Amino acid sequence: MLGLMQDQPLLITNIMEYAALNHKDGEIVTKAVEGGIHRTNYGEIAKRSAKLAHALTKLGLTQGDCVSTLAWNTYRHLELYMAVPCMGAILNTINPRLFPQQLSYIVEHSEAKILFMDLTFVPLVDKLIQAFPDQFSAVKHMVIMTDRAHMPASLSGTALENALCYEELIEAEEDTYDWPKLDENTAAGLCYTSGTTGEPKGALYSHRSTVLHSLSSCSKDSLGISKDDTVMPIVPMFHVNAWGTPYNTAMSGSKLVLPGADMTGENFYNLIKDEGCTISLGVPTIWLALLQHVNSLGDPDCTQLPIQSFVIGGSAAAPSLIESLEKTFNAAAVHAWGMTETSPLGSVNRQLAKHVNLTDSEKMAIKVKQGRPPFGVEMKIVDDEGNKLPRDGVAFGRLMVRGPWVTKAYFKQTDHNILDDEDYFDTGDVSTLDPDGYMTIVDRSKDVIKSGGEWISSIDLENVALGQADVAEAAVIGIAHPKWQERPLLIILPKPGANPTKDDILGYLDGKIAKWWTPDDVVFIDQMPHTATGKIQKRDLRETFKDFKFTT
């Protein structure tokens, strides 16, 4: 016997229309790419999304077609987030920090019919089309996301000489649209991995997965986003849907603050202060920039600012970063974990009631974990043979996940099975799971150092090294060793004006790590390479130090 409840599809359209009806005055603030602050609300976003849908229809966009974007966190990008999937088309947000070959590959592989871009990326697109014209052959229209007054002075003779102006495109259109009643499994968003090995791979999100992900992320034990919050996603909208914030903020009706193209600590600080941000989300390098700006102001009292929560993802946060954020702002630093293939939310670190009376050091031992999966995400760890390992917080193995917003196949690779026999996806992370469900990333499977038959966590070593006062960034890679197979090399980017020595660093590590984990050498560099998503690019470091030989 089946239940007698209505079978209404879970659609992004419902999120947009709900926000327009119930949170129509909810404010959306953008640090505009053209300069200044732009203010709108959910009601206006819905109307402009309808105008955009009409314009896209006239450009020939149909259900199942792909629209690509190269754009920052702005209200216009938010309108694309709503209009494109609600029409039944697919929104492909492209990370402009990828290599030119990867960017062009994504445009071709996604079969994008229309390409939208912020002013910032006009020169980039022009160069890409000139270098890879065949890969842009399917693109029928290009749109620059600005008004007529700010359109580039001369596009004549460039690959964008026929580019359309966003505001002119939608200006004359009606502000209502007959949104189609889609199947909830209809594709809605397409995000590509950063392609650290091989070509980027596409994760194709559905309306259903996106709505469920949004519902989960709003829950108190997850990101805890509500109508009472002012949310600033610093994580870009071109990176895994800005961790879902374009949709969960609309669902909850929270005020949304979008930092635009100004990715400086000064901009983040000013927006937190001026707009009353209570929750902000970003990678560790973002928070380091914010702290550096605060220090440049002469260490002002930031404890009175409204910020309550810094959500940290993308890579592991060192205890020193967590401590600095919490002490400086009197706000919680909340670890989260996820990846493109998990939409991205996979776990959030919220402490349990039994942790209230722990000491500060005991609490920190919990805070550095990546957290517990929300309802809907299941985790297990397995050894190299696929055998399930105990959830004791000690055993570590390959982290496997499954759930309604976890990918089951890559776009255009459905014939390639990426799941195990229990439908779990291999994340590529090496992790532990403790009895309370807290997951801790030990390392990426390709980054873990195997020394004398034992594993050394590069992440743990890096996090300890970051506590040294002169260290801005730290990376650990394995170097071949004739006796021990591999030994750790510690690579340090000093803080500006600091000149630490090898003895300074190793002396700091002494007593904080196991003796046999101690790096065999320490090298100092002037610039740390990063991936397109802000993580340290260890592939480049391995290439740089491929011929390195330990002297001791």
Provide the residue type at 388 as one letter: K
Phi and psi for 293 in degrees, rounded to 5?
-65, -45
Residue 239 lies in a domain: no
Give pLDDT, residue 453: 64
Which of 426, 444, 462 lies at the terminal end of a domain, its last residue?
Answer: 444
Domain identity same for 273 and 336: yes
Would you tell me how many other CB atoms lie within 10 Å of the CB of residue 406? 24
Residue 373 lies in a domain: yes
User: Rounded to two decimals, what is the model's pTM?
Assistant: 0.88
Per the CB < 8 A criterion, the answer to whether 184 and 206 are in contact is: yes
Provide the residue type at 97 as one letter: R
Domain identity same for 521 and 410: no
Residues of the chain with pLDDT under 70: 195-197, 453, 552
Taking the C-alpha atoms of residue 67 and residue 141, their distance in angstroms, rounded to an integer, is 10
Residue 400 lies in a domain: yes
| Pair type for strands 396-402 and 187-192 | unpaired
Which of 208, 240, 272 lies at the terminal end of a domain, its last residue?
Answer: 208
CATH of the domain at 498: 3.30.300.30
CATH of the domain at 325: 3.40.50.12780
Give pLDDT, residue 552: 59
- Number of domains into which the chain is organized: 3
Domain identity same for 55 and 122: yes
Domain identity same for 430 and 306: yes
Instruction: Write the pLDDT tens digit of every residue in 204-252.
Output: 999 999 999 999 999 999 999 999 999 999 999 999 999 999 999 999 9
Per-residue buried b or exposed e for 454-485, using 16+ beta carbons within 10 Å of the residue's own CB:
eebbbbbbbbbbbbbebbebbbbbbbebeebe
Give pLDDT, residue 455: 74
Residue 268 lies in a domain: yes
Give the pair of three-digit tokens for residue 222: 């997850």
Domain identity same for 403 and 463: no
Domain identity same for 467 and 420: no
Bridge partner residues of 524 (DSSP): 492
Domain identity same for 130 and 269: no
Residue 101 lies in a domain: yes
Taking the C-alpha atoms of residue 21 and residue 517, their distance in angstroms, rounded to an integer, is 58
H helix or E strand, kind and range, residue 91: strand 90-93
Would you tell me how many other CB atoms lie within 10 Å of the CB of residue 361? 8
Provide the residue type at 72 as one letter: W
Which of 191, 208, 225 lies at the terminal end of a domain, its last residue?
Answer: 208
The domain in which residue 540 lies consists of 449-544
Instruction: Write the pLDDT tens digit of every residue in 306-342.
Output: 999 999 998 888 899 999 999 999 999 999 999 999 9
Domain identity same for 466 and 428: no
Give pLDDT, residue 135: 96
Per the CB < 8 A criterion, the answer to whether 302 and 445 are in contact is: no
Domain identity same for 384 and 456: no
Residue 404 lies in a domain: yes
Residue 124 lies in a domain: yes
One DSSP character per residue, 112-180 reads: EEEEEE-GGGHHHHHHHHHH-GGGGTT--EEEESS-GGGS-S--TTSTTTTPEEHHHHHHTS-S-----
Domain identity same for 96 and 157: yes
Interacting residues of 202 by C-beta distance below 8 A, sequence separation 6+ = 92, 106, 109, 110, 190, 191, 192, 193, 410, 411, 412
Active-site positions read 193, 341, 450, 455
Give the pair of three-digit tokens for residue 84: 């494109």
Give pLDDT, residue 196: 52
Helix (H, G, I), strand (E, B) or coil at 505: helix
Domain identity same for 438 and 315: yes
Crossing angle (nearest 10°) for helices 75-87 and 12-22: 130
Give pLDDT, residue 523: 96
Give pLDDT, residue 213: 98
Domain identity same for 373 and 275: yes
Residue 230 lies in a domain: no
Residue 65 per-residue DSSP state: -
Give pLDDT, residue 270: 98
- Placement of tokens 């966590």 in the chain: 457
Per the CB < 8 A criterion, the answer to whether 303 and 255 are in contact is: no
Give pLDDT, residue 532: 73
